[in-house]
Amino acid sequence: MQKSFKKVESWNIGRLECWAHHSIIPLFRYSSLILLAMTVLLLPVKSFSAETVKLKFLQSVYFDDRGGGIKQPEGVACNDKSVLVIGDTGNDRLLRYTLEEKNLKAGSEIKIPQLSNPIRVQINSKGEIFALDGKRRRVVRLTPEGAFKGYVDAEGVPAPSVFIPRSVKIDANNNIYLLDIFSARVLILNPEGKYQKQIPFPQEYGFFSDLAVDPKGSVLLVDCVKAMVFSAAKGSNSFAPLTRSLREYLDFPTNISTDSRGIIYLVDENGGGIVILGQDGSYLGRQLSAGWNEGLLNFPSQMSINEKGEVFIADRGNSRIQIFSLMK
C-alpha cells in the first residue's frame, strides 16, 4: 500500500486524475459489491476468533490422600458438584477427590475386586460412578461412595446379544451410551441400564475409539484411524461424517468430549495435544503440546469438562491428572 502511495506522489496531476478516474471512481460505483465481498471474507474470521478456546493450566494431581503416587491413569471424570474421579489404571483403582475453589481435597481410594484396569470413567448427576474395566471389558457401576452396585449389562439388548464396550458416556439425563465395537453399534440405555435404542456404525470407518453426547443430544464418534468425527443427530438412526480427515491437525485421536456450548475436544494421544472443533466440525485450533513439564501432555488418554469450565486430562505418560480452565 505504501509503495503505491509513493508511486502516486511522484506522478504529475494529470496522471493522478487519470488514476483517480480509473481506480477511485469505480470503487465508489461498486462500493456495495465490495462491501458485500468484504463482509463475506471477514465473517468467518470474526466467528473463528469468537469461538477460539484456550486452556489455562491450573494444577496437577499426583498423589492419593495417603501420598501414594498415581500410575498411568487413563480415566478421569468430573461433575458440576466438583467431584473428580480418576481411573488410576496402573494401580487398578479409582481415586475420588473434591475440587472446591481450586482446592483439591481427599483423594480417597476406591478399590473393589470387580474392577481392574479402569480405562474410562463417568459420573452421572446422582454422583454414581461408571468405570470401564479394560481387562474384563465390562462397565462397572458404583455408588457415589464407591461401593459396587452392579455391571451395565444392557438388559434387553436385541441380537446380536454380545457386546464389547470400548467406551462409555452418560448424558445429562443419566442415559448410558456404550460404544460396542464387537457388534459395530452404539447402544443407548436408560439410567437403569435397560436397552432403549441402537445406532449402527457407518459403512466406512477405520476404528472408533470413543464417543460423546453433545448438549443437543447428538452422538459423536471419533475414528482414530481415519482421524474423523462422525455424528448422529438426536433421534437419528445413522451416523454421517461431521468432519473430513483431521490428520493435518492431529496424529491419533482417542478421546472425544464436548463442553456446555457443544464445542468438541479431541485428545490427540500420540501427538500430545487437544484439538478443538466447532459444533459443525470446523477446526478451531490446537491446544497444549507434548512434554514432561506441567501444562504439557505425554500420551494423554481421557478428558473431562464440567459446567464451570474446568478441564481434567488424564496425562497417562506423566502419571498425573492435569487441571486446566477454559478461557473463551
> Contact positions toward other proteins, by CB under 8 A?
62, 69-72, 90, 116-117, 134-135, 137, 160, 162, 164, 166, 181-184, 206-207, 209, 224-225, 247, 251-252, 270-271, 290-293, 316, 318-320
Minimum CB distance to other proteins smaller for 82 or for 117: 117
- Cα–Cα distance for residue pair 230/239, rounded to 1 Å: 6
Nearer to other proteins, 200 or 215 (CB): 200
3-state secondary structure of 111: coil
**In the complex, minimum distance from the CB of residue 224 to other proteins, in angstroms, rounded to a whole number:** 8
> Among residues 151, 63, 79, which one has the least CA distance to residue 115?
151
How far apart are alpha carbons 234 and 6 in whole angstroms?
A: 60
Q: Show the cell assigned to 103.
A: 482446592
Pick the closer one to other proteins by CB: 165 or 278: 165
Taking the complex as a whole, the smallest distance from the CB of residue 111 to other proteins amounts, in Å, to: 15
User: 224: which DSSP letter?
Assistant: T
Q: How far apart are CA 267 and CA 320, in angstroms?
A: 16
User: What is the closest distance, in whole angstroms, from the C-beta atom of residue 46 to other proteins in the complex?
Assistant: 33
Report, in Å, the least distance between residue 321 CB and other proteins: 11
Cα of first residue to Cα of last residue in the chain, in angstroms, is: 34
- Please state, in angstroms and rounded to a whole number, the distance separating the CA atoms of residues 89 and 214: 26
State how far the Cα of 97 lies from the Cα of 288, in Å rounded to an integer: 24
Least Å from the CB of residue 307 to other proteins: 29
CB of 134 to other proteins, least distance (A): 6
Q: With respect to other proteins, which residue has the nearer C-beta, 64 or 310?
A: 64
Phi, psi of 193 (to 5 degrees): 95, 15
Cβ closer to other proteins: 67 or 235? 67
Q: How far apart are CA 70 and CA 91, in angstroms?
A: 7
Nearer to other proteins among residue 44 and residue 291 (C-beta) = 291
